[in-house]
Chain A
Amino acid sequence: MWRGDRHVLRNVSIDVLAGEVVHVAGPNGTGKTTLLRVLAGLLPAEEGYVGWRGRPIRSERDDFNAEMAYLGHENALKGDLTSFENLHYSIGVRRHLDGPEIDATLDHLGILRCRDLPARVLSAGQRRRLAMSRIMLLGASLWVLDEPFTNLDVAGVALFSGLIGDHVAAGGMAILAAHQGLNVPGTTPRIVELN
Chain B
Amino acid sequence: MQSTGLLRAGALLYARDLKLAFRRWEQVTQPVVFFLMVTTLFPLALSPDTAQLREVAAGIVWVAALLSALLALEFMFRSDYEDGTLEQLVLSGQPLWWLSLVKAMAHWTVSGLPLVVASPLVAASLAVPAAAQPTVMVSLLLGTGILSFLGAVGAGLTLGVRRGSVLLSLLVLPLTMPALIFGARAVDMAIMGDSSRGPLLLLAAMFILSLTLGPFATSAALKVSME
Question: Which of A's residues lie within 8 Å of B, judged by CB?
Answer: 40-44, 62, 65-66, 68, 70, 72-81, 85, 89-90, 92-96, 134, 139
Contact = CB atoms under 8 A, between A and B. Distances in A.
B87 A95 contact: no
A95 B4 contact: yes
Contacts of B1: 95-96, 139
A159 B147 CA distance: 48
Nearest to A74: B84
A81 B85 CA distance: 13
A12 B165 CA distance: 39
Interface residues of B, number: 29
Interface in B76-109: 79, 82-85, 87-94
B83 A75 contact: yes
A92 B91 contact: no
Given A65-B93, A76-B88, A93 B12 contact: yes
Contacts of A72: 84, 87
A81 B20 contact: yes
In this complex, which of A70, A77, A81, A94 has the most chain B Cβ atoms within 10 angstroms of its Cβ? A94
B91 A93 contact: no
Contacts of B84: 72-76
A75 B1 CA distance: 24
A93 B92 contact: yes
A15 to B, nearest CB: 22
B85 A78 contact: yes
5 contacts: A76-B85, A79-B83, A94-B93, A96-B3, A96-B4
B13 A76 contact: no
A96 B87 CA distance: 20
B4 A92 contact: yes
Contact of B87 (A70, A79, A92): A70
Nearest to B81: A74
Contact of B3 (A40, A70, A94): A94
A41 B13 CA distance: 22
Interface of B: 1-4, 8-9, 12-13, 15-16, 19-20, 23-24, 79, 82-85, 87-94, 226-227
B93 A62 contact: yes
Contacts of B8: 92
A44 B16 CA distance: 30
B91 to A, nearest CB: 5
A73 B227 CA distance: 15
Contacts of B15: 89
Given A40-B91, A42-B226, A94-B94, 19 more contacts: A42-B87, A65-B92, A68-B91, A72-B87, A74-B82, A76-B87, A77-B85, A78-B79, A80-B24, A81-B16, A92-B4, A92-B8, A92-B9, A93-B4, A94-B4, A94-B93, A95-B4, A96-B1, A96-B3
A40 B85 CA distance: 15
A44 B227 contact: yes
Contacts of A95: 1-4
Contact of A85 (B3, B19, B82, B87): B19
B94 to A, nearest CB: 6
A78 B19 CA distance: 11
A127 to B, nearest CB: 10
A43 B227 contact: yes
Nearest to B99: A93
A90 B88 contact: yes
Given A78-B20, A94-B3, A42 B91 contact: yes
A32 B93 CA distance: 24
Contacts of B24: 80
